[in-house]
Amino acid sequence: MASRKRSLPDANGKQDGLLPVCKQVKAGDKRHVAALILARGGSKGIPLKNIKMLAGVPLLGWVLRAAADSNMFDSVWVSTDHDEIERVAKSWGAKVHRRSPEVSKDSSTSLETIQEFVRFNPEVDVVCNIQATAPCLHPFHVKEAVEMITLQGFDSVFSVVRRHQFRWQEVKTGSGGLTKPFNLDPTNRPRRQDWDGELCENGSLYFTTRNLIINEGLLQGGKVAYYEMLPEYSVDIDVDIDWPVAEQRVLRYGYFGRATPEVVHLMFCNVSGCLTEGRIFLSASGEEMLSINTRDTTGIRMLQREDVEVILLTSSEDPVAQSLADKLAKRTGCRVVQVGVEPLEVLDLIVMEKKLQWKDVAYMGNDEPDVKCLNVAGLSAVPRDAPVVAINAAKYTCHSLGGRGAMREFAEHILLQKQKAKSQMKQDRIDSSF
């Protein structure tokens, strides 16, 4: 089971059991539910952390994608004081609330910032504060947590992760460091399987009604419930050392969009700018030449070994790239297809001929003509040096440049998603056997 939801104890110390996930909207609930991501520009631990690229996507983009694809919100907002963060937020389809200097200080609290947002947006009844530093959030997490307020009548819901850690408390004395147990009896240490563990806030989401925020000045109050997330989805990023760990976690457990395929069967790759680095070499005799990286040809073969057909795309306006593609096709067995200014028109026919859907297809492009294909493909990528218009359309931005290993990197990403899907299917079979 992906998550568990329990209410907190009431005033008499009672706590109910596992809460069912509701599937329909309560009749008459017309409240405006807004997602709000707080993204201040003055992060001290990691400068401009909220828009730094994580696994090919701006950190902010991971949660905006999950929020939008949950289909639970009347509006999705980013609260920021920074021009570049505003630009990125709008490119991902979010509205922007420009926060005032009063709530943009190092000492400003999340509650103060959310209160300002609510006062400026009186139509909002439920504020769903999603933390930008929670890149492994999925739409089902958001949906289930929102339904706890809209369907089950809670006033506030926050996310937790269950930890099984024995903790000790420091005792300060003049004679040095002493300690005493905080959450265990050392004479009777329980086994992990005999202990429910502790619920710790994982910082992914805090959902609250307008009434609590404005009238009582609380993010957690009234009828409170927690929403439990599994440890693999509980990622937080505060300092630089967290970044590489978070990146690996996101590649394995992150949400890459609605159309993310279980298995890619076909890949289209634009030769120019993806397998080449954008430079043309001239020989002494005036002959034009292009180079290709052996890491990229290895990436093509990696996909072919996993039964992924790779089709190379060229343009009639680039005869040098066409010549390179023809030679590469002989070495790798790839098919070469010539496309015009609208590649989607040609490639749609190929996808249909192979009785596939675009969700089963990967696409690697590098410029504006590729945007439509980057949008519809189940997995899509661009090299790191691609223009902004292509980067915004792709689901993954490579660390590598075009012609310098970007194809190999994307191939590894595709195969990792395949491995992840196989692991999930295996886990589903195990779960269904109980």
**Two structure tokens written together for 70:** 């949950």
b/e per residue 162-181 (b: at least 16 CB within 10 A): beeeeeeeeeeeeeeeeeee
More confident: 310 or 434: 310
pLDDT digits (tens, 9 = 90+) for 180-221: 889 888 888 888 888 888 999 999 999 999 999 999 999 999
- Average pLDDT, rounded, for the chain: 84
- What values do phi and psi take at 242, rounded to 5? -75, -20
**Two structure tokens written together for 169:** 């408390």
In the chain, pLDDT over 90 holds for what percent of residues? Answer: 49
pLDDT digits (tens, 9 = 90+) for 365-402: 999 999 999 988 989 999 999 998 898 888 888 989 99
**Two structure tokens written together for 106:** 């190092």
Q: What is the pLDDT of residue 326?
A: 86
How far apart (Å, rounded) are the C-alpha atoms in residues 346 and 229?
A: 43
Which CATH superfamily is 3-164+195-253 part of? Answer: Spore Coat Polysaccharide Biosynthesis Protein SpsA; Chain A (3.90.550.10)
Q: What is the pLDDT of residue 260?
A: 57
Which fold is adopted by the domain 266-422?
Answer: Rossmann fold (3.40.50)
Bridge-based pairing state of the strands 126-130 and 33-38: parallel
More confident: 263 or 68: 68
Confidence band for 429, pLDDT divided at 50, 70 and 90: very low
Domain limits, the chain: 3-164+195-253, 266-422
CB atoms within 10 A of CB 333: 12
Closest to 108 (Cα-Cα) out of 185, 203, 9, 40 = 40
How far apart (Å, rounded) are the C-alpha atoms in residues 367 and 273?
A: 8
Instruction: Determine whether 189 is an active site residue.
Output: yes
**Two structure tokens written together for 120:** 């400026």
pLDDT digits (tens, 9 = 90+) for 289-320: 567 788 999 999 999 999 999 999 988 777 77
Sign of torsion, CA 276 281 287 293?
negative
pLDDT digits (tens, 9 = 90+) for 9-45: 333 333 333 333 333 344 456 899 999 999 998 777 7
Q: What is the pLDDT of residue 328?
A: 85
Closest to 378 (Cα-Cα) out of 255, 258, 259 = 259
Q: What is the pLDDT of residue 285?
A: 62
Closest to 233 (Cα-Cα) out of 176, 142, 161 = 161
Confidence band for 434, pLDDT divided at 50, 70 and 90: very low
CB atoms within 10 A of CB 88: 24
Q: What is the pLDDT of residue 81?
A: 93
Q: What average pLDDT does range 349-353 have in this prediction? A: 94
pLDDT digits (tens, 9 = 90+) for 212-267: 999 999 999 999 999 999 998 998 787 666 788 888 888 888 888 765 555 789 99
Counting other chains too, the contacts that 282-286 makes at CB distance below 8 Å and 24 or more residues apart are none
The set of residues, in sequence order, having a beta carbon less than 8 Å from that of 265 and lying 6+ positions away, is 307, 308, 309, 354, 356, 360, 361
Q: What average pLDDT does range 92-113 have in this prediction? A: 92
The answer to whether domain 3-164+195-253 and domain 266-422 are alike in fold is no
Does the pTM of the predicted model rise above 0.75?
A: no
Catalytic one among 119, 189, 331, 335? 189
